């Protein structure tokens, strides 16, 4: 089951998302992400969070259309992103695409990336997307389709990653270890239209910049 999650971060030019956001089985909004769903003419299945960011008129619009709201107190132990990931897992998601989860608030961006670690370990594909960059949370393997010359960077999200291999890139790696405090696997280049990245243990974030 493919799940789209709209978060309340930076989107840039909203029109650039329209061709990307189709063919999903479930659509979830993390609080103010519903404002962007409205701009994209999307009717979500669920809106979840403390509801401090959603526009009042948009909330009424979705309530009138039977969208399910899951409201939590503002003072809570989990972020809206964590709550919406848990819901996606409960619904049976096998693949999650985030939009609006990357932006100028670096603390929010990092929190969103870290929130997908256990999800990836559980075998669920997690990707954070904006028109310039996709970030994949990977606990086993990833195939990347792109254009030759595009940039690929890999960062360890766990303290250590073992058995990291990269093929289809200008600087291939074979069964190396990557530690969080030594982020050397940055700014690789696609040398083929499809690259493959695998790890034996640990979790990585793979950054794919869509422009070379």
CATH number at 138 reads 3.40.50.10240
DSSP assignment of 147-172, as one string? -TT-EEEEEESSSEEEEEEEESBSS-
Which strand (E) or helix (H) includes residue 119? helix 117-121
User: How does pLDDT run across 115-151, given as a tens digit for each residue?
Assistant: 999 999 999 999 999 999 999 999 999 999 999 999 9
Same-domain pairing of 126 and 136: no
Among candidate residues 79, 97, 131, the one where a domain is terminated: 131
Residues 11 and 45 in one domain: yes
Determine the distance from the C-alpha atom of residue 110 to the mean position of all C-alpha atoms in its chain, rounded to a whole number. 11
Using CA atoms, how far residue 80 sits from 29, 73, 121, 133, 192, in Å, is 9, 11, 20, 22, 38
pLDDT above 70: percentage of residues in the chain: 98
Residues 100, 20 within the same domain: yes
Are 150 and 202 contained in the same domain?
Answer: yes
Residue 131 contacts by C-beta under 8 Å, 6 or more apart in sequence? 12, 13, 16, 17, 210
Query: Could you write out the three-class secondary structure of 63-90?
Result: HHCCCEEEECCCCCCCCHHHHHHHHHHH
Q: What is the pLDDT of residues 157-170, one digit of tens each?
A: 999 999 999 999 99
Per-residue model confidence (pLDDT) at position 104: 84
Tell me the backbone φ, ψ of residue 16, rounded to 5 degrees: -70, -10
Q: What is the pLDDT of residue 212?
A: 59
Q: How far is residue 60 from each of residues 7, 39, 146, measured CA to CA in Å? A: 19, 15, 41
pLDDT at position 18 over 90:
no
The structure tokens 């254009």 sit at 147
Residue 137 in tokens: 């949370």
Q: Residue 38: what are its φ and ψ, rounded to 5°?
A: -60, -40
- Residue 197 exposed, middle or buried by CB count within 10 Å (0-12, 13-18, 19+): buried
Range of the structural domain that residue 30 is part of:
1-131
Answer yes or no: do 143 and 208 share one domain.
Answer: yes
> Considering 79, 104, 131, which residue would you say is the last residue of a domain?
131
Take residue 109 and report the two structure tokens written for it: 């961006």
* Final residue belonging to a domain, choices 76, 100, 131: 131
95-99/2-6 β-pairing: parallel
**Average pLDDT rounded to a whole number, residues 77-102:** 93
**Sign of the torsion angle spanned by Cα atoms 120, 122, 125, 126:** negative
φ and ψ at residue 81, rounded to 5 degrees: -65, -45
How many folded domains does the chain comprise? 2
Compute the average pLDDT of residues 96-103.
Answer: 94
User: Which residues on adjacent β-strands are paired with residue 161?
Assistant: 178
pLDDT value of position 80: 84
Residues 67 and 160 in one domain: no
Whether residue 72 sits in one domain with residue 28: yes
């Amino acid at each position: 089951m493919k799940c789209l999650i709209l978060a309340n971060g930076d989107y840039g030019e909203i029109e650039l998302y329209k061709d990307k956001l189709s063919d999903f089985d479930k659509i979830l909004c993390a609080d103010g992400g519903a404002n962007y769903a409205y701009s994209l003419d999307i009717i979500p299945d669920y809106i979840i969070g403390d509801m401090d960011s959603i526009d009042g008129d948009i909330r009424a619009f979705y309530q009138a259309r039977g969208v399910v709201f899951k409201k939590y107190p503002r003072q809570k132990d989990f972020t809206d992103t964590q709550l919406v990931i848990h819901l996606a897992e409960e619904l049976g998601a096998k693949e999650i695409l985030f939009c609006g989860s990357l932006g100028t608030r670096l603390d929010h961006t990092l929190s969103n990336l870290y929130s997908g670690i256990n999800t990836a370990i559980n075998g669920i594909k997690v990707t954070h997307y904006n028109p310039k960059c996709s970030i994949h949370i990977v606990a086993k393997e990833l195939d990347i389709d792109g254009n030759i010359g595009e940039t690929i960077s890999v960062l360890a999200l766990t303290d250590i990653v073992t058995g990291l291999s990269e093929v289809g890139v200008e600087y291939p790696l074979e069964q190396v270890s990557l530690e969080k405090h030594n982020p050397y696997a940055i700014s690789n280049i696609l040398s083929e239209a499809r690259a493959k990245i695998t790890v034996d243990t640990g979790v990585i974030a793979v950054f794919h910049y869509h422009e070379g």
